[in-house]
Structure formats: structure tokens, C-alpha cells
């Protein structure tokens, strides 16, 4: 039966060859999915702990922005995950009534995240004051 199917379907027929399977093989996309799942399941409390312990300024600032996005997603009726940094700023202008400058915070995040500029001490101070205000 297999020989007949092999003649009819050619290279698309069922093959008796054994393929080697490697248990420790992980595709780069699978690694990304695993990493994304961990990010999605991370609570704001866990992220806040990581933020407080972070030594690297860039990592700390990006974690601060993640905390800000988590805060924004809890208070907004819109889906924040599909919005850009500029759209986050516009949404937060309606929801945030604190003393910090969200525009400067968003601009700094754009420079650090997309232009690969290092986070300055002023950026960290801005992030610290905003996070302390949002997560009292």
C-alpha cells in the first residue's frame, strides 16, 4: 500500500525514514513566546521588586515604563498593548493628575528604547518620582 502511495504522491507520500529528534532544541520563536508569557504573567508587584533591585539604569528605566504601562492599563478602558508611546501619553493625560511630567517621561523612554541612548541620572530621578507616586 505504501509503495502505491509512494508512486502516486511521490515525495509527498508517507516515508519510513526515522527523523532524529533533539529534546533540548528550542526554536528562537519558542524562546520568544516563553519570554513573552513570563512578561505577560508578571504582576506589578513582581515588576516593582525588580525595579527597586535593578542596578543598570537602562533596565531600571524600562522597568519603570513597564510599571507605568501596567498602571495605565488598569485605569484605561482601551487596550494599552496595541498603542504606541505617543498614544500612551495622550491616554495618560486624561487619567494622570499627578505632579510629574508624563511627556518628558515618554520622550525619555522613546530615546532609551528606540534610539539606544543610555539613561541619564535625570531620567532615573524622573522614573523614580513617577513610580513612587503611582505605587505609593
Q: Using one digit for the tens of pLDDT, what is the confidence trace for 61-101?
A: 999 999 999 999 888 888 888 889 999 988 988 888 888 88
Number of domains in the chain: 1
DSSP 74-136: HH-SS-GGG--HHHHHHHHHHH--SSS-HHHHHHHHHHHHHS-PPPPHHHHHHHHHHHHHHT-
Domain of residue 63: give its range: 43-134
- Mean pLDDT over 110-135 rounds to 93
Q: Does residue 94 lie in a domain region?
A: yes
105 closest CA partner among 72, 78, 79, 75: 72
Helix 85-95 to helix 57-75 angle (10° resolution) is 50
Residue from 131, 132, 105 nearest 120 by CA: 105
pLDDT bin (cut points 50, 70, 90) of residue 126 is: very high
pTM above 0.85, yes or no: no
In a domain, 13, yes or no: no
Is 68 within the bounds of a domain? Answer: yes
Report pLDDT digits (tens) over 3-23. Answer: 776 677 666 555 555 555 555
pLDDT reading at 107 higher than 70? yes
Mean pLDDT of the chain: 80
pLDDT at position 44 over 90: no
In degrees and rounded to multiples of 5, residue 27 shows phi and psi of -70, 150
Is 65 domain-assigned?
Answer: yes
Amino acid at each position: 500500500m505504501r509503495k502505491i502511495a509512494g508512486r502516486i504522491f511521490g515525495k509527498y507520500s508517507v516515508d519510513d525514514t526515522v527523523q532524529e529528534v533533539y529534546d533540548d532544541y528550542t526554536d528562537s520563536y519558542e524562546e520568544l513566546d516563553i519570554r513573552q508569557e513570563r512578561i505577560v504573567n508578571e504582576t506589578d508587584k513582581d515588576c516593582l521588586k525588580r525595579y527597586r533591585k535593578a542596578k543598570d539604569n537602562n533596565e531600571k528605566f524600562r522597568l519603570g515604563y513597564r510599571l507605568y504601562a501596567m498602571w495605565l492599563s488598569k485605569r484605561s478602558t482601551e487596550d494599552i498593548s496595541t498603542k504606541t508611546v505617543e498614544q500612551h501619553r495622550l491616554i495618560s493625560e486624561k487619567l494622570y493628575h499627578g505632579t510629574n511630567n508624563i511627556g518628558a517621561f515618554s520622550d525619555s523612554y522613546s530615546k532609551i528604547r528606540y534610539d539606544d541612548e543610555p539613561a541619564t541620572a535625570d531620567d532615573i530621578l524622573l522614573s523614580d518620582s513617577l513610580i513612587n507616586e503611582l505605587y505609593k
